[in-house]
Amino acid sequence: ICDLDKDHITFYFFQCRKPEQHVHVDIYERLPVPFGLVRFGVAPDHPEVKNVINTFTQTAKHSRCSFYGNVNVGKDVSVQELQRAYHAVVLSYGAEGNRTMGVPGEGLAGVYSAKDFVGWYNGLPSCRQLSPDLSCETAVILGQGNVALDVARVLLSPVDMLKETDITQPALEALAHSQVRRVLIVGRRGPVQVAFTIKELREMVNLPGTRPDMVEADFDGVTEALKDLPRPRKRLTELMLKTALQTPGETEQERRDQASRTWGLRFFRSPVEVLADPERHRTAGIRLAVTRLEGSGEAARAVLTGDVEDVTCGLVISSIGYKSLPIDQSVPFDSKSAIVPNTMGRIKQAPGLYCSGWLKTGPTGVIATTMNNSFDTARSLLDDMESGVLDLSAAKSGSQVITALLEQRGVKPVSFSDWEKIDRVEMSRGEASGKPREKLLTVEEMLHVART
């Protein structure tokens, strides 16, 4: 079981008639297309990360695996109906909700969640109408994880670089006319607590046409803290220190002097208000509270100092995290932690019901983390099969009864071979424009191609 799906609802169901028989897996997906986060969450200039699609495709084509796209679980079919049809149900629908800042002005034009912004340039149908206004000079991104750096990189990348990716054509055209020349990536804690990886930071440091803009005072005491850091964190922090404090060599200085765009990390700042223009219609800036750290290392927490500062900007992108949403009243849900309560993937007080991915753990980790997380859930399920916790003695009709229910309700699922029709059209359109893929942007267009 591999759950790489953050923004879209994917479910894995197991149908086992006898213990000695092999497991059959049915995958139900809300959209007509598979691959979830890999398709709609991975940055367009990271094609190597999307190679995992090849492994997924092999699994989907297995004789004991079936894909049912265009099925909205919780609406088209209930979880209880699935439980009656299958021996086990695994919920793997990720974290599609946004954590809000909870500050005045958050609803102004010019404020976007990173999830929606990423969905816009990656072709998520629900984000197609976002049309962000990129006419301002300065953008502020709140949060210092990999997604925040992805957004910053896309905003500042030369259009000629983006033209060679699978970024959507509307996003490419908008970025070609963008006036954004400065991006600040803001975090409430310090350099030692950032959540992005060294790979993402290195890409920012080397991004053509840009130069870093750091505040030296933010790095006071960081050099002394290096000796106590674990190796990955130490290497990351050393690169930040080098970028912020070290005098660049002649070649690098020349590159920076020629740069027309800047990016910078800003630490010890927390949003308290999005500032409006005089007409109170759209974003004109953001007020940041100055913080200091209590404690050390990754356990350090930010506390307010009482000071504030205003930053003029016309674009605010909140990348402070995601949260899972409840899907069905029959499924236990912890609204405070925004997860399904579970033990090693076994959903509490719900025999035969399992979970994986961010629904299970909360929105932490990268794709590899989520894969290992899903393997753990699969082991729990297989252990329950072998121990008899799952009753495999009764025959279950699986997809046979579910597809009959869907037909009665006017829902026509998309098969994996139907998806392959969409795939061929997207690849063909991409080839015609010199891109690896040109995605279909609406569910209606996807269904038209799948059923032609």
HEC string of 80-91? HHHHHHCCEEEE
Our CA angle for 399, 404, 410, nearest 5°, is 120
Q: What are phi and psi of 350, to 5 degrees?
A: -150, 75
What are the start-end ranges of the E strands in 232-328? 261-266, 269-276, 283-294, 301-312, 315-318, 322-323
Burial class for 274, CB neighbours closer than 10 Å (0-12, 13-18, 19+): buried
User: Is 189 one of the annotated binding-site residues?
Assistant: yes
Q: How far apart are CA 86 and CA 15, in angstroms?
A: 5
User: Is 366 one of the annotated binding-site residues?
Assistant: yes
Give the full edge-to-edge strand order of the sheet including 24-29.
65-68, 24-29, 10-15, 88-91, 353-355, 346-347, 342-343
Q: How far apart are CA 353 and CA 54, in angstroms?
A: 28
Quick one: tokens of 288? Answer: 């940041």
DSSP state of 106: T
SS3 of 328, please?
coil
Supply the DSSP string of 351-415, one letter for each residue. Answer: TTEEE-THHHH-S-S-HHHHHHHHHHHHHHHHHHHHHTSS--SS---THHHHHHHHHHTT--PBP
User: Is 144 one of the annotated binding-site residues?
Assistant: yes
Number of H-type helices and E-type strands within the chain? 16, 18
Q: How far apart are CA 60 and CA 417, in angstroms?
A: 10
Beta strand 65-68 with 88-91 is unpaired
Place of tokens 């008899």: 388
Query: Could you tell me which residues are beta bridge partners of residue 73?
Result: 77
User: Is 358 one of the annotated binding-site residues?
Assistant: yes
User: Is 73 one of the annotated binding-site residues?
Assistant: yes
User: Is 103 one of the annotated binding-site residues?
Assistant: no
User: Is 367 one of the annotated binding-site residues?
Assistant: yes
In angstroms, what CA-CA distances link 155 with 26, 41, 213, 301, 334? Answer: 39, 16, 16, 30, 36
Length of the chain: 452
Q: Give the residue numbers of the binding site for FAD.
A: 29, 37, 73, 358, 365-367
Q: Give the residue numbers of the binding site.
A: 29, 37, 73, 144-147, 188-189, 200, 358, 365-367
Q: Give the residue numbers of the binding site for NADP(+).
A: 144-147, 188-189, 200, 365
